[in-house]
Amino acid sequence: MRRKFQTGEELLTSTHRNDIIVIEVIVMKKNELVVHRKNKVEKRNIVNEMRTYNMGLEELRIFNTYLAKINARDPAGTRAVRFPVSYFQELMCVDKININSLKAVSHRLLQKIVDIPDDDGGFTAFQLFKVCIVKKDDSGEWYMDIDAHDLALPLMFEFKDKYFTYGLENVSALKSANQIRMYEILKQYENTGFRVVTIGKLKEYLGILPIEYAEYKIFKRDVLEVCRKAIDESTDITFTYEPHGRKGRGGKILALKFLISQNKKNLSILKPDEQLGECRVEWCDVLADESPVVIVDEEQSAVDERKNEKKIVVSEVQEKPREYTCVEDYDDYELGYIAQACKFEFNELEMAEIKTYLDVLVPHKKYFEDEVEQYKYLLSIYSTLNRQADIQKIKSRFGYIIGILKVMRTDFEKEQHKRVIEAMKEFQ
């Protein structure tokens, strides 16, 4: 079976050949009616939250294109994808690409390791991809085959919930890995409408070292504002942000609250995934030498879009309070993991505020160990809360937790300040 869709003056065709999805480039004939079929990226929340798979711009573009080309419901038939070199040229925005460039990108892609933490503090580490093959086909054209690692398949295939989607065209115009990552971590929360994240955690998501952009005003100018302008100009979402929660010593901003909304000015170019499904597109299975016939009822499509908007408004008004009973109920995996210590008593926003304190109080180690240590720390505080609740009635259990954390953070900062003074005296 062959599928065809348009990109500019060429026609890409996707077909199965020896269990490999082959993306071919065919020159279009004039006067052919073809509709651009937008590629949808389906990404699990847990993959989006991983800190250890940080990629550069080229690797991110390839990874997201891979996710857009596979069928997440069919790992056996679509896990291996073939790209022609000409497709890579467009993907990387270059006029020419040589084998050495492909080799460098493929090596970096194969070196991406992910860590999946276990409940007991252990972890499983593996590569996202197991092989990249670069060869010439029978016509002399270069291509690359990419296949996912067996252990990585659950991250990319056969998931039913806790994932988000977006059109690949949304990130094609973004010019840095920071911009793509910022788009993804906010797009994940578009339906919620907001996201609270600590500065430290945001830097980890973006692949920025803790010591970089130490001053908030520099971080805001060089990272936040640059990403905001690029995302507003080129994608289907827009956002604002503001300091959130209590500040650290000296008024230091510890966390941000992002307010996320649909970018209405780009709807005519970049349509939301929900609207894409409403378009009447009839795909004809054709032979290799036949022209595709695609019919689009634009007027009906516009009516369907307006219906969609009304449905969305109604669902938002009638939405019931969200329940939290397991780790997977939290959009942010780390918050869900730590929330186990409180038996999922607090919602995502409350857990985000609790975590702003834990990020200060629990010494940073590395990768999966942070969540385990923060879980243990919060578990002891939650036990204190329950013991106190047995003695007297507590009006606000969340407020009690925050009160304890606030006192502990104040003591911690005083101790840290004392150590700095003592260290300075030793050098005098």
Report d(CA 232, CA 92) in Å as an integer: 21
SS3 96: coil
Range name among 207-211, 303-307, 311-315 with the lowest pLDDT average: 311-315
Cβ atoms within 10 Å, residue 215: 9
Mean pLDDT taken over the chain = 74
Dihedral of CA 312/347/208/119: which sign? negative
Report d(CA 95, CA 90) in Å as an integer: 8
Decide which of 102 and 407 is more confident: 407
Q: Where are the domains of the chain?
A: 174-271, 327-427
DSSP single-letter state for residue 281: B
Please report the pLDDT score of residue 365 as a whole number. 52
Predicted confidence (pLDDT) per residue in 171-180, tens digit: 888 988 899 9
DSSP single-letter state for residue 249: G
Q: Is the pLDDT of residue 181 over 90?
A: yes
Q: Is the pLDDT of residue 98 over 60?
A: yes
Decide which of 327 and 294 is more confident: 327
What is the mean predicted confidence (pLDDT) over 387-410? 90
Q: Which region holds residue 8: left if phi is over 0, alpha if psi is between -120 and 50, else beta?
A: left
Dihedral of CA 222/225/231/233: which sign? negative
Q: Is the pLDDT of residue 257 over 90?
A: yes
Compute φ and ψ for 33, nearest 5 degrees: -90, 110
* Half-sphere exposure in the Cβ direction for 251 (13 Å, CA): 2
Predicted confidence (pLDDT) per residue in 312-370, tens digit: 343 333 345 678 888 878 877 778 888 999 999 998 888 888 988 888 888 665 444 56
Confidence category of residue 275, pLDDT binned at 50, 70, 90: very low
CB burial of 84-95 (b: ≥16 within 10 Å; e: otherwise) equals bbbbbebbeeee
What is the mean predicted confidence (pLDDT) over 295-302? 41
Predicted confidence (pLDDT) per residue in 30-77, tens digit: 333 222 334 789 998 888 877 545 688 888 888 888 898 888 888 777
Please report the pLDDT score of residue 386 as a whole number. 92
CATH number of 174-271: 1.10.10.10
Report d(CA 336, CA 343) in Å as an integer: 10
Q: Which residues contact 245 (CB under 8 A, 6 or more apart)?
A: 196, 254, 255, 353, 356
What is the mean predicted confidence (pLDDT) over 230-249? 88
Taken as a whole, the chain contains a residue count of 428
Residue bearing tokens 């996202």:
128
For residues 379 and 427, is the Cβ–Cβ distance under 8 A? no
Compute φ and ψ for 238, nearest 5 degrees: -140, 160
Please report the pLDDT score of residue 348 as a whole number. 82
What is the mean predicted confidence (pLDDT) over 290-299? 36
* CA triple 147-149-152, angle to 5 deg: 120
Decide which of 421 and 341 is more confident: 341
Report d(CA 358, CA 376) in Å as an integer: 11
Q: Which two tokens stand for residue 184?
A: 């993804």
User: What is the percentage of the chain residues whose pLDDT exceeds 70?
Assistant: 71
Decide which of 333 and 82 is more confident: 82
Report d(CA 188, CA 329) in Å as an integer: 14
Single-letter residue type at 358: L
Decide which of 17 and 203 is more confident: 203
Q: Which residues contact 18 (CB under 8 A, 6 or more apart)?
A: none
Mark out the alpha helices in 81-198 (DSSP H runs).
85-91, 99-110, 153-156, 169-172, 177-187
Q: Which two tokens stand for residue 6?
A: 């348009």
Q: Is the pLDDT of residue 255 over 60?
A: yes
